[in-house]
Homo-oligomer: A and B are copies of this chain.
Amino acid sequence: MDPDEFRRHAHELADWMADYLRDVGTRRVVPDVSPGSIRRSLPGSPPETAEPFELIAADFRERIMPGMTHWNHPGWFGYFPANHSPPSILAEMLVATVGAQCMSWQTSPAATELEQVVMDWLRQMLGLPGSFTGVIQDTASTATLVALLSARDTALAGTGDRSAADLSRLTVYTSTEAHSSVAKGARLAGYGAERIRGIEVDDAYAMQPGRLEAAIARDLAGGLVPACIVATVGTTSSTAVDPLRAVGEIARRHRAWLHVDAAYAGAAAILPERRSCFDGVELADSLVFNPHKWLLTNFPCSAYFVRDVPALLRTFSTAPAYLRTAHDPEVVNYRDWGIQLGRQFRALKLWFVIRSYGLDGLRAMLRRHIALAASFRSWVEAEPGFVVAAPSPFGLVCFRHEPPSLGADGAARDRWNQRLLERVNAPGDVYLTHTVLGGRYTLRLAIGQWQTEESHVRRAWELIRGAARDA
């Protein structure tokens, strides 16, 4: 395909893309396909000779798209949002075309320097102190693993040794509501599975600092070394907010690394009226938040902020002969700031998004989503038989349908809510997912897609009420 054929096809796709963004709300959110059907419809072996692009594009439209879940459907209320936006998509088109490899300053100077600039913009937007430096990681799982590895090596340096015997003494603390990536990352980093503590939460599903303090005291008495505490602002199940200041003071006292997982809710820190959720964040050693969740930026784009850059570099830097450049002493080489050597030019989409919307525009979107969540919550609260299951500080509402006719049998109530969820999702207009809170099957409605309007939330509520009536 030469550049002129590319031009023709790119224009064709541009129209398809604009149509998709305009019409995605008319599709089913989640496709009605059974496992294996798409796979069976595709050839089992690669083609020997070239196929025309028209055929490939038609197969994409007719075979692939009917099997896709539309995360950017305005009726998307599942998991957390994985938002994108028109300016972010435009940036991705340019990034793909230039195809730069941004492992070192030398290998793409403008990409490195733009990352420095936009990560400092983000730092200012979130109200983080100037002692934090940002770098783009791919996902929060990776960023949390990076934090756990930095904490591990910092703790081992603190014990004066780096033997595996010391590694076996290191402990990690996080709430029982923390994301699965914390325990997974800790295991990958070599912490013993038996050294990962799940700290009990309060009625609002937030970590109890007193329980944290007690767990650390027990471990210290047992000769163990508290290496890392992972606090969450906006847990995955219910967007609970761990008390950062209290947790941070405990971390400081015991010289443990404090990592803050604000993957979803970090975006809300750009709202002055929500910043109280981040009170005490200056006590953290690192923080992750995902612009690819609730800040209109294409996945993957995870913002990792860290205070002790030299500690980061001690764990992740590497300088083989073939990567050294004359500029190394005076520049940032982001290959030394994480796990991967190769890096895409991800700063561009953030730059396009922040400039296209401005702080005002981004704040307006978040406020609209939070207001819609508050409306939905008020409808649930006003409806007999429904209960709200947790506080809703951001765009997520957790709820259950518990009509008196079901009685007090927890398992029956769980089955009922599971069936309710299936019925709500079946028509394909909206999509909600579930979690388990306090041992109970719970429905989640997460608002965060850029095209979601009140009409979509009303439609979700109509379907929920209808399913509750008919179930």
A101 in contact with B17 given A111-B68, A168-B164, A193-B162 (CB within 8 Å): no
Within 8 A of B (CB), among A1-46: 1-7, 9-11, 13-22, 30-31, 33, 35-36, 38-39, 42-46
A87 in contact with B193 given A20-B98, A92-B96, A300-B342 (CB within 8 Å): no
Would you call A435 an interface residue if the criterion is a C-beta within 8 Å of the partner chain's C-beta atoms?
A: yes
Asked if B357 and A50 make an inter-chain contact with CB atoms under 8 angstroms apart, the answer reads yes
Q: Bound state CA distance, A113 and B40, in angstroms?
A: 9
> Which listed residue, B38, B53, B68, B93, touches A356 by the CB 8 Å rule?
B53
Asked if B39 and A113 make an inter-chain contact with CB atoms under 8 angstroms apart, the answer reads yes
Within 8 A of B (CB), among A329-369: 330-331, 339-342, 344, 348, 351-352, 354-361
Residues on the B chain within 8 Å of A375, using CB: none
A97 in contact with B10 given A68-B108, A321-B237, A341-B180 (CB within 8 Å): no
Within 8 A of B (CB), among A170-198: 179-181, 183-184, 187-190, 192-193
A42 in contact with B117 given A322-B236, A361-B50 (CB within 8 Å): yes
Residues on the B chain within 8 Å of A21, using CB: 3, 6, 97
**CB nearest to A326 among chain B residues:** B422
Asked if B165 and A299 make an inter-chain contact with CB atoms under 8 angstroms apart, the answer reads no
**CB nearest to A342 among chain B residues:** B139
Asked if A39 and B116 make an inter-chain contact with CB atoms under 8 angstroms apart, the answer reads yes
Q: Bound state CA distance, A56 and B318, in angstroms?
A: 35
Would you call A167 an interface residue if the criterion is a C-beta within 8 Å of the partner chain's C-beta atoms?
A: yes
Asked if B46 and A124 make an inter-chain contact with CB atoms under 8 angstroms apart, the answer reads yes
Asked if A66 and B17 make an inter-chain contact with CB atoms under 8 angstroms apart, the answer reads no
Q: Bound state CA distance, A391 and B329, in angstroms?
A: 33
What is the size category of the interface that chain A forms with chain B? 35 or more
> Which listed residue, B90, B180, B192, touches A318 by the CB 8 Å rule?
B180
Q: Bound state CA distance, A344 and B346, in angstroms?
A: 14
Would you call A222 an interface residue if the criterion is a C-beta within 8 Å of the partner chain's C-beta atoms?
A: no
Asked if B35 and A330 make an inter-chain contact with CB atoms under 8 angstroms apart, the answer reads yes
**CB nearest to A33 among chain B residues:** B109
**CB nearest to A111 among chain B residues:** B68
> Which listed residue, B99, B111, B340, touches A72 by the CB 8 Å rule?
B99
Residues on the B chain within 8 Å of A322, using CB: 79, 236-237, 433-436, 444
Most buried by B among A2, A16, A31, A56: A56
- CB A41 to nearest CB in B, in angstroms, measures 9
A68 in contact with B110 given A3-B18, A56-B352, A321-B436 (CB within 8 Å): yes
Asked if A87 and B149 make an inter-chain contact with CB atoms under 8 angstroms apart, the answer reads no
Q: Bound state CA distance, A125 and B348, in angstroms?
A: 35
Within 8 A of B (CB), among A62-107: 63-72, 79, 82-90, 92-101, 105-107
- CB A321 to nearest CB in B, in angstroms, measures 4
> Which listed residue, B192, B298, B320, B357, touches A99 by the CB 8 Å rule?
B298
Asked if B355 and A47 make an inter-chain contact with CB atoms under 8 angstroms apart, the answer reads yes
Would you call A145 an interface residue if the criterion is a C-beta within 8 Å of the partner chain's C-beta atoms?
A: yes
Would you call A48 an interface residue if the criterion is a C-beta within 8 Å of the partner chain's C-beta atoms?
A: yes
Q: Bound state CA distance, A72 and B282, in angstroms?
A: 42
Q: Bound state CA distance, A9 and B14, in angstroms?
A: 9
Would you call A405 an interface residue if the criterion is a C-beta within 8 Å of the partner chain's C-beta atoms?
A: no
Asked if B87 and A1 make an inter-chain contact with CB atoms under 8 angstroms apart, the answer reads yes
Q: Bound state CA distance, A90 and B68, in angstroms?
A: 18
Asked if A65 and B110 make an inter-chain contact with CB atoms under 8 angstroms apart, the answer reads yes
Q: Bound state CA distance, A33 and B444, in angstroms?
A: 50
A110 in contact with B358 given A10-B14, A93-B17, A125-B46 (CB within 8 Å): no
Would you call A464 an interface residue if the criterion is a C-beta within 8 Å of the partner chain's C-beta atoms?
A: no
Q: Bound state CA distance, A188 and B193, in angstroms?
A: 17
Residues on the B chain within 8 Å of A45, using CB: 121, 124
Pairs across A and B, CB under 8 Å, 5 listed? A1-B356, A13-B90, A33-B109, A152-B190, A188-B189
With A6-B86, A48-B358 known, 19 other A-B pairs at CB within 8 A are A10-B90, A35-B331, A43-B117, A46-B124, A46-B354, A47-B355, A48-B359, A56-B355, A57-B90, A71-B101, A72-B98, A79-B322, A83-B99, A99-B299, A141-B339, A141-B342, A149-B188, A180-B318, A187-B315
